Amino acid sequence: MTHLDVELKRLKDEIVEMFELVTQQMKKSQLAFIGFDREIAREVNFNEKRVNALELKIDKDCENIFALFNPVAIDLRFVLAVLKINSNLERIGDIADGISRYVIGTGNPFDKELIDITRVNEMFVMAVQMLSDVQKAFDSEDTKIARGIFQKDDLLDEINENANSVIENYIRSHEGNISQSLHIISAIRKLERTGDQVKNVAEEIIFFLEAKVLKHVSEK
């Protein structure tokens, strides 16, 4: 194993760690938001520092690989993919942190009726599932799993598109819950953006892997 191979293996281990950390952040933000648990919300806020620190570490390691080894072909595509995946995962971490802050800034637990009719928990479940799937696609180098991400994002888009009318109807009969309604709609918007970020990760995996496959086919 060359020195470059060692560095690439280390880089892969780091981005897998980032996947796992961000997925845990999203799961905990779900627990905090749906269960109105401020302690878990504060834990998410605290761990955001870990996400940011790891993002910087991965970026620096990518830069070092470029500078020291001048990677080409498949190795270059891998490092470029990791750079972009790292950025998207950090943004998902920001989203989990932002959602958790709504829990800390809200006086009372969210109305269960409001949670149910907006289907916000369904969005959390799907966002976590998409994160799990895209990590599996990366680990197993499976483009079929990566492509499955795009269809799953349709649910997030659907719920987001219906959110305005659902919230509007709710507010008409619950005028005292306008603040909660605004927090819910904001969380929905953030979860929809989570789906977009995960799709970006899937696209990077597909590019990296299919370029690799095409290279091997052409050699044969």
Task: Read off the CATH number of the domain in which 43 is found.
Answer: 1.20.58.220
Burial of 12 per CB tally in 10 Å (0-12, 13-18, 19+) = middle
Q: How far is CA 32 from CA 19, 92, 167, in A?
A: 20, 16, 21
* Helix 120-140 / helix 3-35 crossing angle, nearest 10 deg: 170
Tell me how far apart the alpha carbons of residues 13 and 42 are, in angstroms, rounded to a whole number: 27
Tell me how far apart the alpha carbons of residues 26 and 44 are, in angstroms, rounded to a whole number: 9
pLDDT at residue 217, rounded to an integer: 47
Q: Structure tokens of 68?
A: 């020291």
Q: Structure tokens of 199?
A: 């799709």
pLDDT < 50 regions, the chain? 213-220
Q: What is the pLDDT of residues 141-152, one digit of tens each?
A: 999 999 999 999
pLDDT at residue 212, rounded to an integer: 53
**Enclosing domain of residue 30:** 3-219
pLDDT at residue 216, rounded to an integer: 46
pLDDT at residue 106, rounded to an integer: 86
* Helix 178-219 / helix 120-140 crossing angle, nearest 10 deg: 20
Q: Structure tokens of 65?
A: 């690989």
- The total number of structural domains in the chain stands at 1
Query: Among residues 105, 110, 143, 99, which one has the least CA distance to residue 35?
Result: 110
